[in-house]
């Protein structure tokens, strides 16, 4: 059985801002951080309502988790089966060991087909690979067509959330961005007006584009096809008008059988936003007559993560974002504070596997309240893995100054009163709402032999302030 | 060229856990009133489903709602439009379609997803590029949940197939729901007896 493999240190930067430092910066704008918190909590609440409507919800989660267990334990054979079937369907399948190879494949395809302008629908994988910048540097016009992604592309930012990329921006700011880039009226911030402006603008881009790039939500081994989910219909507008379609897929996105989609589609949108399904769920099996379809299978650290027994479960992730929406730290510190493509609890497990040094503070950006694990549709033991990363990071030994990183996190919190207050409030809150099971489970040694003291409703500071006034 | 494939497969072989079983497909009973449930589901998705109306009423609705200078494309027998799909070679020619009238294969009441395989839409772009969408669906083709519909369809039969569950929508600006992001600005489903 494969043991824990030490992740590579890839970052060239000498010092990376810690999560705590980045969070502190976000928290300086108190009004914004409250608004961000409320917005995401609202999404989380919608998820609860949707999940509670399905009596078999827990069965679905179990089934999905088991299917993914099977996939991970048989990934080599399933990938080969997928490749064979997809090729027979007329899809050209390419393999990429890392981000660079992925980008080179895309470049070669565009060159071969002499395409200069392309539209792209949302794909976390291409963000991970830095595809946009890579292509733009080479003179390509890459247009993100998901509304949220187009907004942040104009604003020269990366997504702060994997499902709602522009969740950190207020409509006023988006109005300003559109005024600058699309010529909308100055000061106009009505979402319907702004969306209409984007619609007109992007329709032209769809009509002109010669190539469309999409992500993949699910690849089906049995049939050699793949599924893409959107609400806007932007993936379809792009692919059905363009001459070639390039689909980029992480190797873990595979499912064995088409009928497994029944389970995953019931879970995905409900977990993400509380919708019963996205308005479009597109199944691609063959290119249009005379057109081309490519599918790039990307590893980029996934096979390494597969070899880390304690962390391989993170590869079950279907990128619903629920763990972010529920996370008390994410909600208050925003996606940018994580400094990684996938932020939030799941990002804090995946990113250290890609670059331990750069992301060493992320596993500490958690109260370990377990809410992420509770909502995860594929039952990833997220908070346990965060705890395990902490042990790895703290144990790394003198060659790696990781203990210092851990201490730095603590030191940072202590030295920043606002952050300390926030973490304290969250800990008090999460202790009152966490089910006992999370506090008294086997991994949590200090919960084993004792009952928790009653959680104080206010911090000493709050108490002192109130009582001094009297 | 294929060395990456070999490297990836070899890494998986080395790193994967011992084989775990693949679970059976689950089945869950569904007893709710199918028509009402479908109507409730599509409303949440931003669409509308009508029942108890026939072809004549749909034609009347079209005549009232759309003017003769607007392109109306019908792929449903008995409903006439003014746009001939047969002559379309390139989907870009569909750019100005105002309304498309299509027939769905199956409808799923838990989420209002309607299965549209390629042969029912002719051009893959059609359900997306039209400004408005009307879909007819036989009541007898309503199913309870997604598990049931995947037992009925073969996803690999058509080169492309899509579940459409409502109009094009977005909530990317401060979570305000806006209908008509890129595709149809409305979707009306007629549930036909
Ligand atoms: S870890 Fe689970 S909850 Fe988080 S994004 Fe992935 S699937 Fe969703």
Interchain proximity B45–A275, CB inside 8 Å: yes
The tokens for B42 are 């599509």
Q: What percent of chain A has pLDDT over 70?
A: 81
CB contact under 8 A, A146 and B125: no
Could you tell me if residue B175 is inside a domain? yes
Give a yes or no: residue B97 inside a domain.
yes
Contact A199, B181 (CB under 8 A): yes
Same domain, A81 and A143: yes
Give the three-class secondary structure for B48: strand
- Mean pLDDT calculated for residue range A223-248: 98
Take residue B168 and report the two structure tokens written for it.
């094009």
Closest CA to A234 of A135, A121, A317: A121
Helix, strand, coil proportions of chain A in percent (round to 5)?
Answer: 55, 10, 35
User: Which string of DSSP letters, residue by residue, matches A300-315?
Assistant: TTHHHHHT-TTTGGGG
State how far the Cα of A169 lies from the Cα of B180, in Å rounded to an integer.
21
Which residue's CA is minimally distant from atom 2 of ligand 1? A376
How does pLDDT run across A373-404, given as a tens digit for each residue?
999 999 999 999 999 999 988 887 544 444 45
Q: Once rounded to an integer, what is the mean pLDDT over residues B4-21? A: 97
According to the model, what pLDDT value does residue A4 have? 45
Phi, psi dihedral angles at B189 (to 5 degrees): -110, 135
Instruction: Give the closest residue to A387 by CA, choosing from A373, A400, A375, A397.
Output: A373
Question: Residue B95, Cβ neighbours under 10 Å: how many?
Answer: 15
Residue in B28, B124, B169 closest to A279 by CB: B169
The CATH number given to whatever domain includes residue B117 is 3.40.50.10420
Cβ of A282 and B160 within 8 Å?
Answer: yes
Same domain, A96 and A135: yes
**Whether pLDDT at A440 is above 50:** no
Count of domains observed in chain A: 3
Q: Does B150 touch chain A (CB under 8 A)?
A: yes
Distance from CA of B49 to the nearest CA of A (A): 15
Neighbours of A264 (CB within 10 A): 23
State mean pLDDT over B74-96.
95
Confidence of residue A421 (pLDDT cuts 50, 70, 90): low
Collapsed DSSP state (helix, strand, coil) of residue A245? strand
| A408 inside domain | no
Residue B23: C-alpha distances to residues A60, A62, A63, A257 (Å): 11, 10, 7, 11
Nearest partner of A237 among A114, A115, A143, judged by Cα: A143
Q: Is the pLDDT of residue B10 over 70?
A: yes
In a domain, A409, yes or no: no
End position of a domain, from candidates A300, A330, A362: A300
B151 within a domain of the structure (yes/no): yes
Nearest atom in ligand 1 to the alpha carbon of residue A375 is 3
Same domain assignment for residues A165 and A241: yes
Q: Give CA angle at A155 (A152, A156), nearest 5°.
A: 85
Is B170 within 8 Å of chain A by CB?
Answer: yes
**Does the distance separating the beta carbons of B17 and A280 come in below 8 Å?**
no
* Same domain membership, residue A315 and residue A291: no
| CB nearest to B20's CB, from A73, A233, A279 | A73
**Three-state SS at A336:** helix
Establish if B159 belongs to a structural domain.
yes
- Dihedral pair phi/psi, residue A212, rounded to 5°: -130, 135
Report the C-alpha gap between A446 and A443 in whole angstroms.
Answer: 9
* Residue B74, strand partner residues: B101
pLDDT at B32: 75
Residues A248, A319, single domain; the answer is no
Let me know if residue B149 belongs to a domain. yes
* 3-class secondary structure per residue, B124-159: CCHHHHCCEEEEEEEHHHEECCHHHHHHHCCCCCCC
In this model, does residue B1 exceed pLDDT 70?
no
pLDDT tens digit sequence for A79-107 = 999 999 999 999 999 999 999 999 999 99
Q: Is the pLDDT of residue A16 over 70?
A: no
What is the mean predicted confidence (pLDDT) over A259-278?
A: 97
CA-nearest residue of chain B to A168?
Answer: B174
Residues A295 and A309 in one domain: no
Domain that residue A191 falls in: 54-300
* B30: contact with A, CB 8 A cutoff: no
Confidence of residue A441 (pLDDT cuts 50, 70, 90): very low
Helices (H), A284-370: 302-306, 322-326, 328-333, 344-354
Query: What is the mean pLDDT of the segment spanning A267-280?
Result: 97
Residue A347 in contact with ligand 1 by CB distance below 6 A: no
CA separation for the pair B137, B187 (Å, rounded):
13
A220 shares its domain with A171: yes
Residue-level pLDDT at A334: 87
B23 CA distance to ligand 1 centroid (A)? 21
| Residue A322 Cβ < 6 Å to ligand 1 | yes
Per residue in B105-119, pLDDT (tens digit) is 999 999 999 999 999
> Please, are residues A225 and B156 in contact by the beta-carbon 8 Å criterion?
yes
Give the whole-angstrom CA distance, residue A161 versus residue A346.
Answer: 12
pLDDT band at B179 (very low <50, low <70, confident <90, very high): very high
Chain B residue nearest residue A296, CA to CA: B5
Paired residues of B157 in beta bridges: none
Would residue A401 count as lying in a domain? no
* pLDDT at residue number A15: 47
pLDDT of res. A25 = 80
Does residue B47 sit within a domain?
yes
- Confidence at A340, pLDDT banded by 50, 70, 90: confident
Whether A346 has a pLDDT exceeding 70, the answer reads yes
Residues A273 and A364 in one domain: no
- Boundary of a domain, candidates A361, A396, A431: A396
The pTM for the full model equals 0.88
Compare A299 and A329 and report the one with higher pLDDT.
A299
pLDDT at position B103 over 60 = yes
Using a 6 Å cutoff on CB, does residue A306 contact ligand 1? no
pLDDT at A1 over 70: no
The mean pLDDT of chain A is 86
What kind and span of H or E run contains A96?
strand A92-96
Q: Are A197 and A182 in contact (CB under 8 A)?
A: yes
Residue B6 lies in a domain: no
pLDDT of residue B18: 95
Residue of A320, A370, A384 to test ligand 1 pocket, by largest number of atoms within 8 Å of CB: A320
Domain, as residue range, for B188 = 33-192
pLDDT of residue A10: 45
On the question of pLDDT at B181 being above 90, the answer is yes
Is residue B11 within 8 angstroms of chain A, CB to CB?
yes
CATH of the domain at A30: 1.10.1060
Give the pLDDT score at B121: 97
Q: What is the pLDDT of residue A465?
A: 58
Average pLDDT over residues A270-287: 98
User: In angstroms, rounded to a whole number, what is the distance separating the alpha carbons of residues A320 and A317?
Assistant: 8
Per-residue pLDDT of A219-235, as tens digits, reads: 999 999 999 999 999 99
Largest separation between any pair of C-alpha atoms in chain A: 81
Domain contains B146 = yes
Residue A467's pLDDT is what? 53
Task: Give the pLDDT confidence score for residue A28 in this predicted structure.
Answer: 83
Among A237, A240, A277, beta carbon nearest to B163: A277
- B76 vs A226: CA distance, rounded Å: 29
Of B131, B170, B136, B36, the residue nearest A275 (C-alpha): B170
Cβ separation of A199 and B17 shorter than 8 Å? no
pLDDT category of residue A457 using cuts at 50, 70 and 90: low
**Burial classification of residue A195, based on how many CB atoms lie within 10 Å of its CB (0-12 exposed, 13-18 middle, 19 or more buried):** buried
Q: Using CB atoms within 10 Å of the CB of residue A217, give its burial: 0 to 12 exposed, 13 to 18 middle, 19+ buried.
A: buried
Number of domains in chain B: 1
CA distances from A122 to A136, A144, A145, A147, A373 (A): 17, 7, 8, 10, 25
- What pLDDT is stored for residue A60 in this prediction? 98
Residues A113, A228: one domain?
yes
* Tens digits of residue pLDDT in A146-193: 999 999 999 999 889 989 999 999 999 999 999 999 999 999 999 999
Domain assignment present for residue A412? The answer is no
Q: From CA A221, how far away is CA A79, in angstroms rounded?
A: 7
């Amino acid at each position: 059985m494969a043991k824990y493999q030490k992740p590579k240190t890839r970052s060239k930067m000498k010092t990376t801002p810690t999560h705590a430092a980045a969070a502190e910066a976000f928290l300086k704008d108190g009004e914004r951080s409250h608004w961000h918190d409320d917005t995401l909590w609202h999404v989380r609440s919608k998820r609860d309502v949707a999940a509670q409507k399905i009596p078999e919800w827990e069965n679905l989660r179990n089934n999905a988790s088991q299917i993914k267990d099977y996939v991970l334990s048989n990934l080599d054979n399933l990938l080969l089966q997928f490749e064979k079937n997809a090729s027979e369907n007329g899809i050209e399948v390419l393999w990429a060991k890392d981000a660079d190879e992925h980008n080179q494949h895309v470049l070669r395809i565009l060159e071969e087909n002499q395409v200069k302008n392309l539209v792209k629908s949302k794909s976390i994988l291409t963000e991970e690979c830095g595809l946009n910048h890579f292509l733009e540097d080479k003179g390509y016009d890459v247009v993100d067509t998901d509304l949220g992604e187009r907004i942040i592309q104009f604003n020269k930012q990366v997504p702060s959330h994997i499902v709602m990329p522009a969740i950190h921006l207020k409509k006023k700011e988006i109005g300003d961005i559109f005024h600058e880039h699309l010529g909308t009226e100055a000061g106009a911030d009505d979402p319907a007006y702004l969306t209409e402006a984007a619609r007109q603008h992007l329709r032209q881009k769809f009509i002109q584009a010669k190539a469309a790039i999409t992500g993949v939500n699910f690849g089906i081994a049995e049939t050699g096809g793949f599924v893409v989910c959107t609400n806007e219909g932007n993936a379809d507008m792009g692919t059905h008008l363009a001459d070639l379609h390039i689909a980029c897929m992480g190797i873990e996105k595979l499912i064995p059988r088409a009928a497994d989609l029944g389970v995953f589609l019931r879970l995905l949108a409900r977990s993400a936003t509380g919708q019963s399904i996205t308005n479009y769920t597109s199944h691609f099996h063959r290119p249009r007559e005379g057109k081309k379809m490519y599918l790039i299978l990307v590893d980029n650290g996934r096979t390494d993560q597969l070899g880390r027994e304690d962390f391989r479960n993170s590869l079950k992730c279907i990128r619903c974002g629920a763990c972010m929406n529920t996370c008390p730290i994410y909600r208050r510190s925003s996606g940018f504070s994580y400094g990684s493509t996938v932020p939030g609890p799941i990002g804090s497990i995946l990113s250290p596997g890609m670059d331990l040094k750069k992301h060493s503070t992320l596993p500490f950006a958690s109260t370990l309240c377990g809410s992420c694990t509770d909502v995860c549709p594929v039952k990833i033991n997220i908070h346990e893995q965060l705890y395990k990363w902490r042990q790895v990071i703290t144990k790394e030994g003198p060659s790696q100054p990781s203990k210092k990183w851990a201490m730095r996190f603590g030191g940072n919190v202590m030295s920043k009163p606002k952050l300390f207050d926030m973490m304290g409030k969250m800990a008090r809150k999460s202790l009152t709402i966490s089910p006992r099971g999370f506090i008294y489970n086997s991994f949590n040694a200090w919960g084993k032999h004792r009952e928790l003291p009653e959680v104080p409703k206010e911090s000493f500071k709050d108490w002192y302030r109130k009582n001094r006034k009297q | 060229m294929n060395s990456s494939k070999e490297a990836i497969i070899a890494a998986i072989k080395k790193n994967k856990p011992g084989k775990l079983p693949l679970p059976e497909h689950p089945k869950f009973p569904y007893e709710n009133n199918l028509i009402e449930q479908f109507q409730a589901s599509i409303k949440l998705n931003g669409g509308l489903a009508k029942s108890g109306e026939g072809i004549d009423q749909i034609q009347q609705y079209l005549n009232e709602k759309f003017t003769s200078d607007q392109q109306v494309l019908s792929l449903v027998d008995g409903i006439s439009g003014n746009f001939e799909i047969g002559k379309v070679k390139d989907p870009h020619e569909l750019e100005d379609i105002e309304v498309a009238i299509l027939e769905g294969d199956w409808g799923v009441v838990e989420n209002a997803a309607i299965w549209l395989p390629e042969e029912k839409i002719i051009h893959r772009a059609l359900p997306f590029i039209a400004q408005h969408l009307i879909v007819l669906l036989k009541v007898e083709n309503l199913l309870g949940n997604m598990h049931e519909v995947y037992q009925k369809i073969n996803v690999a039969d058509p080169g492309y197939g899509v579940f459409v569950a409502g109009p094009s929508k977005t909530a990317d600006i401060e979570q305000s729901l806006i209908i008509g992001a890129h595709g149809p600005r409305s979707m009306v489903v007629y549930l036909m007896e």
